Structure 1
Amino acid sequence: MIKLHLDANAKSRLRYSIVSTQIDASSITRMAHEKTYRTNVRIGNWNEDLCLEEDAKKEYLEKKARGELAAQKVDFLKQNILRPVNLTVINDGRLHFGDVVMLVNMGGENRECSAVSINTDINSLTKIPSPGIQAPCAVSAGRGIQACARTAFIITSVDGSPEGSILHFEQSFALKTTSGFASGLYLTSDLKSFQKCAKKSRLQEVNLENSSSFLSWWKITHFDPQERLEFEGQPVPANVSVLIIHCKTNQALAVLGDHILWTTYGKEYEMTAHTFLDSHKAEQDNNHWTVCTADPSGNGLVLLNHSQSVTNKELTQANPDM
């Protein structure tokens, strides 16, 4: 073994040389993995980088021409799914098979007024054979109380009742979306399982399917348990609070204010089929729905106009000078 005897200056120079070598090695390694120049600086594989940028730009322009960009798909979806729909105007105050209606929950402590809405995104879009949405498709409780393809449902017969006949309490029916872009899908539910349940609450799932079956049968029940037997078999009035019960599982349609969904249309509430009972064994306001129709005067929904008139009346009574 050869021992080197170095003075202090020699040792310092040797240490500096070793550190510099390590720094240079690490710098070279880092620069090998980093792109320090733009493609217009012709260094390295500049020709390949330029070709890749041109290919990416060409692909972008082709997708834009075909309308396949994500932003274009979102605009196309909203233009069609939010297109206004004319709800049915009724003169006798009763619901009928074939009526186009909205299902509205008036809200509660932790949620605003909301309506049953199609919750679809660009992944559910289809253009064959015509533009529309494909099943299965989720639903949510949207806060936009406007009659459009997303919120309109048709009361459909499942027992052979002719279109235009009156719907009665406890009579089975189906709820179908409008034809065209909404594809005529049926509101469906089934017993919850480990693989099929609501995303947030893990309760019984509600979604839209493209075919009618016993899973898409519903019935309307009076919201007051003490008067339920008296109203059984009676015509169902429109624009009043009722319960919508799933025939197979006997669970009531519900909106969950404490389970928020961030959708393409904004902040909305999760929907499920689950009966929420209070201490008196009565259904809570999560299960209270109003089957809304159009105002004959053409001023939107009968329910909202009635609520606004009641509010104005209360304000007038509180302030006679108004």
Structure 2
Amino acid sequence: MATVRTYSPSVRVGNWREDVSLDEDSLKDFLHRKDRGELTLQKTTVLRQNILKPMKLSVSRDGFLRFGDTITLVNSGGTSLGLRDPCSLSIIADLSNMCSHPQTNSDPYLQGPCQVGGANSLKSCVRNTFVITCVDGTPDGDVLRYDQSFGLRTTSGFGGELYLASDHRTFQKCAKKSRLQEVSLVEQCDFQCWWRVVYFDPQERLEHEGYPVQVNCKVLISHCKTNQCLAALANHVLWTPFGKEYELTAHTFLDSHKAEQDSNHWLFVTADPGHEGQSLLQQQQVSTITNENGSHPKAITDTPGESER
């Protein structure tokens, strides 16, 4: 039978000295962890402050996407698989993904593998900002072309430089809700991290092979190994530490005309040259909200010169 403690430590009955020592040790351990920032509340605050830190996107002067550019990957939204607002490719991280080196007193950073989701917030931050990375030796600054392989990684620093990866689905490894091909962020860049940009219109796809990729235009992001396109699912919602978000997967959804549906349509969003603190998509959203005519927002178009909302 377990011993029931019927007296407080101030009453010197039984093993009172042992009880006092245990309470003192618990308080010292709590204060020590608080000074080192190891409490759960402190770690959660550090995670949110760092992952939601604003980031500056690259400015494309000629309208073309280049290796080394910092962008936000945005799904255009639509109604093919349910009503869906535009969403951005975002990191889903918790305390288990945050790492640091106490010996060197280094800043915390994210370690893989990490999940990804489609967040409705389009404001550029560490969580939804990615860098176009070469995988075939192409130097930074060169134009990315259709059907050319590239990698998509998170930013340096707290982002941890993780790479977007995918692989064939199995019974043990697949998307949580839809059970389709999983998409995640990993630390090592291999063939599973290779992607290519495909022109969204099947009738003009062949003519655009080898042409430079334009920013802020609808494209398809195809996985090189599995030949499946990145997709945002409106009918599968994930509960994350940052709220409800769409599940992202690598799967090509075709309509009756054998064309990819809008769940596979993505935009490489860059900063507005006139307002470098905002992306072009945010600037167009502000223009739509402040429109005095009160007209309905337009759908995101396929050309960079037209309004996207």
- For the criterion TM > 0.5, the same-fold answer is yes
Are 2:276 and 1:303 equivalent residues in the alignment? no
Aligned alpha-carbon RMSD (Å) = 2.4
Q: Tell me the equivalent position of 1:93.
A: 63
Q: Tell me the equivalent position of 1:166.
A: 143
| Cα pair 2:123 2:282 within 8 Å, conserved | no
Q: Which amino acid aligns with 1:111?
A: R
Per-residue deviation, 1:154: 0.9
Q: Tell me the equivalent position of 1:79.
A: 49
Q: Tell me the equivalent position of 2:89.
A: 116
Higher gyration radius (CA): 1
Q: Which amino acid aligns with 2:287?
A: S
Runs of 4 or more consecutive aligned structure 1 residues displaced over 6 Å after TM superposition: none
Any idea what SS the aligned residue of 2:24 has? helix
Moved more, 242-251 or 198-207: 198-207
**Structure 2: distance between partners of 1:280 and 1:312:** 38
**Structure 1: distance between partners of 2:264 and 2:243:** 23
Any idea what SS the aligned residue of 1:257 has? strand
**Structure 2: distance between partners of 1:49 and 1:268:** 48
Any idea what SS the aligned residue of 1:195 has? coil
CA offset digits 1:7-30 (Å, max 9, x no partner): xxxxxxxxxxxxxxxxxxxxxx9x
CA offset digits 1:141-182 (Å, max 9, x no partner): 222212122211111112222211111111111111111111
**Structure 1: distance between partners of 2:114 and 2:194:** 17
**Structure 2: distance between partners of 1:38 and 1:269:** 52
Q: Quick one: higher RCO (CA 8 Å, sep 6+), 1 or 2?
A: 2
Any idea what SS the aligned residue of 2:117 has? strand
Any idea what SS the aligned residue of 1:315 has? coil
Any idea what SS the aligned residue of 1:84 has? coil
Per-residue deviation, 1:42: 5.8
Any idea what SS the aligned residue of 1:59 has? helix
CA offset digits 1:39-85 (Å, max 9, x no partner): 55666655544433332222211111110000101111122222221
Aligned CA distance change for structure 1 residues 138 and 317 (closer, same or farther; 3 Å)? closer
Structure 1 alignment gaps of length 5 or more:
1-28
| Cα pair 2:37 2:43 within 8 Å, conserved | yes
Matches within 5 A, 1:208-287: 208-287=185-264
**Structure 2: distance between partners of 1:221 and 1:313:** 34
The alignment of Structure 1 onto Structure 2 pairs a total of residues equal to 288
Which one has a larger percent helix, Structure 1 or Structure 2? 1
Identity across matched positions, percent = 52
Q: Tell me the equivalent position of 2:176.
A: 199
What TM-score do the two structures reach when normalised by structure 1? Answer: 0.81
Q: Tell me the equivalent position of 1:187.
A: 164
What TM-score do the two structures reach when normalised by structure 2? Answer: 0.84
Q: Tell me the equivalent position of 2:306.
A: none
**Structure 2: distance between partners of 1:144 and 1:264:** 14
Q: Tell me the equivalent position of 1:149.
A: 126
